[in-house]
Chains A and B, each alone.
Chain A
Amino acid sequence: MTRINPEIIKKDFPIFNQDIHGRKLVYLDNGATTQKPLQVIEAMAGYNKIAHGNPHRGAHKLSVEATKAYNSSKETVRKFINAKSTEEIIFTRNTTESLNLIAYSYGREFINEGDEILLAISEHHSNILPWQRLAKERKAILKYMYLNAEGRIPLDEIKNKISEKTKLVSVGHMSNVLGTIHPVEEIIHHAHRVGAVVVVDGAQSAPHMKVDVQEMDADFFVFSGHKMLGPMGIGVLYGKKEILEKMSPFLLGGDMIEYVYEQEATFAPLPYRLEAGTQNVEGAVGIKAAMEYLEKIGLDKIEEHEKELTQYALDRMLSLPYIDIIGPKDLEMRGGLISFTIDGIHPHDIATILDSYGVAIRAGHHCTQPLMRFLDLHATSRISFYLYNTKDDVDQFIEGVKNVRKWFGYGS
């Protein structure tokens, strides 16, 4: 397999043409959002210049063009995750909306008193709060799978927590704090044996590795466009057709109906039934271009590249005695993001000082307060890679970290 050359890839991304505080930009906050290549920026501009209309509405040329663009994006998304049909692809605003939609439209209908909803303690708030509300409303029980010292969900924990009472399991494919890739196939296998449905939050995984929803056998799989080179404001909800068909609409309004009378209405077939109102066609065009860009380079190559960078960064970080890695210290079942702490220095100070060296990283609780409490931490710093990052970026980051130490009066 030929490797990708991030230096050449970087040339497609106009954001890297600027200096940040007088220095070359080292962007290591890809877990939060990713940058856009010209191919995505131009596809969206092109749509706005020549093809913008309201889809599925008028009979005029531009409405037809917008409809074509929207539908063609759905087909690209379908192929990207290997769903059976485009009826199984619902566009949302983001992962958060996708999860809320499932909790509302599936959860309220099929979760009853005493039923158990199971999450991992590492979930992002967006994969906790909708289930908390649902559990309260339906008098259901919210349970958590806890992690071992390596940040992984042990097989025993999966077996012990999934019972006949379990009706829904929602789990992050890859932790946005630890970088751990959770064993979703095992979880799905055990959940299906007791008839529970499984939601996989792919916000951190789908951009970085090949996902095949049929092979995985997930009942729902959700992710966001802006973490995979696409624009903000477009997200995906994949659901198995037989499950989506049983769900009542989330939002009601235009474009999702069949007949509307004064006192009642019937709804359009999938996927439109779950997409009320004028949709984000520009975003759909953007996510399509992003997926095409990623596929042209190859997700297997991107994954390999990130592994190489992660190994390189882990080696360099582990050689500095004042850095603690939060999460697995090897490449086994982990993705390209690394959380860490530095002795005596708060993560926010680390991020602020690194920023002055042009290095963009994330600091804080990463929208995972229950995980932070479980790990007995208040906050961590996090670096996260993508296809355009280089070993030189890692070196700049390490130099920056040594400077942070100096600012705080420590020797390097």
Chain B
Amino acid sequence: MDLNSIYSQLIMEHNRSGHNKKHLPNPDITEKGHNPSCGDDITLELKLNGDTIEDAAFTGVGCAISQASTSMMIDLIKGNTIEEALKLVEIFLGMIKKEVTNEEELEKLEDAIVLQNISNMPARVKCAVLAWHTLKEALSDV
């Protein structure tokens, strides 16, 4: 296991910066995500404009990995259409399962690509995927 690649500078920065950790004034969608085995608990808020995700934010508690993963995801999906966001969720989940390995595909994940090695730490996979499953759930109702 390479702890360095997991607790990289990027994860630490996202974990601490909190620039996406807030409430939106009038969210169109609010979706809770919960990881009962460890207690991580996030609420994702989305503001839509037609089928475009105009703004996104989250609140909640969790470890550095789940908080950073959520923050990276929000940076990534802001301004995307619902369809594009769902595609990114699939690439991310595919990367974690080692099913998506194509460099070009993975680069679409921008910062979130640093979580690629989380699959080497089975105990922490759930932390990394929580926000992405929550987003998928949120958008599936639209």
Contacts and interface: CB of A to CB of B under 8 A. Distances in A.
Interface of A: 21, 345-349, 352-353, 356, 363-365, 369, 372, 378-379, 407-409
Interface of B: 1, 3, 6-7, 12, 37-41, 61-65, 67, 121, 123-124, 127
B1 A364 contact: no
Contact of A349 (B1, B41, B61, B65): B65
A364 B38 contact: yes
B123 A378 contact: no
B3 A378 contact: no
A369 B6 CA distance: 28
Given A364-B38, A378-B39, A408 B12 contact: yes
A369 B38 CA distance: 10
Given A364-B37, A365-B39, A408-B12, A356 B65 contact: no
A352 B123 contact: yes
Main secondary structure of the interface of B (DSSP, over half): mixed
B39 A364 contact: yes
B63 A349 contact: yes
A409 B63 contact: no
B1 A379 contact: no
B39 A352 contact: no
B12 A346 contact: no
B38 A407 contact: no
Contacts of A409: 12
Contacts of A353: 3, 7
B38 A348 contact: yes
B73 to A, nearest CB: 18
Nearest to B67: A346
20 contacts: A345-B64, A346-B63, A346-B64, A346-B67, A348-B38, A348-B63, A348-B127, A349-B65, A352-B3, A352-B123, A352-B124, A364-B37, A364-B39, A365-B39, A378-B41, A378-B61, A379-B38, A379-B39, A407-B3, A409-B12
A379 to B, nearest CB: 5
A410 to B, nearest CB: 11
Closest 3 CB pairs of A and B: A346-B63, A348-B63, A365-B39
A300 to B, nearest CB: 37
A407 B65 CA distance: 13
Nearest to A363: B38
A356 B63 contact: no
Contacts of A356: 1, 3
Contacts, number: 47
Contacts of A21: 1
Contacts of B39: 364-365, 369, 372, 378-379
A411 to B, nearest CB: 15
A346 B38 CA distance: 11
A403 to B, nearest CB: 10
Contact of A352 (B37, B40, B62, B121): B121
Nearest to A347: B63
A61 to B, nearest CB: 45
Contacts of A407: 3, 7
Contacts of B7: 349, 353, 407
A363 B63 CA distance: 11
A408 B41 CA distance: 21
Contacts of A363: 38
A275 B131 CA distance: 45
Between B6, B39, B123, the greatest number of chain A beta carbons within 10 A of the residue's beta carbon is seen for: B39
Contacts of A372: 39
A348 B127 CA distance: 9
Contacts of B61: 346, 378
A348 B128 CA distance: 12
Between A352, A353, A372, the greatest number of chain B beta carbons within 10 A of the residue's beta carbon is seen for: A352
A56 to B, nearest CB: 39
B139 to A, nearest CB: 27
A369 B123 CA distance: 20
A346 B64 CA distance: 7
B100 to A, nearest CB: 24
Contacts of B63: 346-349, 352
A348 B61 CA distance: 12
Contacts of A369: 39
B62 A346 contact: yes
A152 to B, nearest CB: 24
Given A346-B67, A349-B65, 11 more contacts: A348-B38, A349-B64, A352-B6, A352-B63, A352-B121, A356-B1, A365-B38, A365-B39, A379-B38, A379-B39, A407-B3
Contacts of B121: 352
A346 B7 CA distance: 13
Contacts of B1: 21, 356
Nearest to A345: B64
